[in-house]
Amino acid sequence: MDFFDFHHHKKNICPGIYNLEKEEIPPDSLYSIGIHPKDIRTESLDLQFDFMRSRISKNCFAIGECGLDSFVSVDQKIQEDVFLRQIYLANEFGKPLIIHCVRKFYEVISFRKKSEQAMIIHGFNKKQTVADDLLKNNFYLSFGKPVLYQLSLQDTLKKVPLDKLFLETDNDDFNIEELYQKVSEIKKISIEQLQQQIVENLETIKNG
Ligand SMILES: [Zn+2]
């Protein structure tokens, strides 16, 4: 069975969701397309959205990564406007949202009710309380490399329901099989069960 990589930036990794680079031609495999907070260009926003629309095809699994980032210099209000527009786009096309969030979890939660689609926080590595609040609001959490060595995150992962979970490599250079191995130990299930669960979760979010 597959070691599905929910969010990555390396071309030709299958199976998984490749995060399309700016202005790139979509691949024949699954990808996501979005405007990352750092890529917001206020002077050409409409063009950025037109471009996105033109690139949303059958292989486009999700809108994103998009979201809010307190370390990016783009004004917060503008970040929120661009995030909201992408939520509406996801509603229009019936695609889940892959969310990038840095120190803005409560603001992101406040947008939850605007979305008719699943919202997945990618690269989650924050405290239990933040995870609890996200889960309470029906977010999914995607975990990456830090799970391999961060003990507090392993504890958090223990309490994340299996049907709210994804695994990813993001920008990190490591083999995702290692992560499946680790998570199957933490969750006390077999790797096959974990793989099967991820497939089911993908089906669930695909169907809204
Ligand atoms: Zn990423």
Q: What is the pLDDT of residues 12-29, one digit of tens each?
A: 777 999 999 888 889 999
- Can you give the pLDDT at residue 119? 98
CB 59 within 8 A of CB 31: yes
Interval between CA 46 and ligand 1 midpoint (Å): 23
Tens digit of each residue's pLDDT (9 = 90 or more) over 84-143: 999 999 999 999 999 999 999 999 999 999 999 999 999 999 999 999 999 999 999 999
In this predicted structure, the answer to whether residue 11 has a pLDDT above a threshold of 90 is no
Q: SS3 letters for the chain? A: CCCCEEEECCCCCCCEEEECCCCCCCCCCCEEECCCHHHCCHHHHHHHHHHHHHCCCCCEEEEEEEEEECCCCCCHHHHHHHHHHHHHHHHHHCCCEEEEEECCHHHHHHCHHHCCCCEEECCCCCCHHHHHHHHHCCCEEEECHHHHCCHHHHHHHHHCCHHHEEECCECCCCCHHHHHHHHHHHCCCCHHHHHHHHHHHHHHHHCC
Q: For residue 1, name the pLDDT band (cuts at 50, 70, 90).
A: confident
For residues 170 and 174, give the distance between their C-alpha atoms in angstroms, rounded to a whole number. 10
> Any binding-site annotation on 133?
no
Interval between CA 98 and ligand 1 midpoint (Å): 9
Tokens of 129: 């309380």
Q: For residue 168, name the pLDDT band (cuts at 50, 70, 90).
A: very high
Interval between CA 122 and ligand 1 midpoint (Å): 8
Tens digit of each residue's pLDDT (9 = 90 or more) over 40-55: 999 999 999 999 999 9
Interval between CA 43 and ligand 1 midpoint (Å): 24
- Can you give the pLDDT at residue 195? 98
> Any binding-site annotation on 192?
no
Can you list the domains of the chain with their CATH numbers?
5-206 (3.20.20.140)
- Can you give the pLDDT at residue 14? 75
- CA 190 to chain CA centroid, Å, is 24
Interval between CA 30 and ligand 1 midpoint (Å): 15
- Can you give the pLDDT at residue 17? 97
Residue with tokens 């991820």: 198
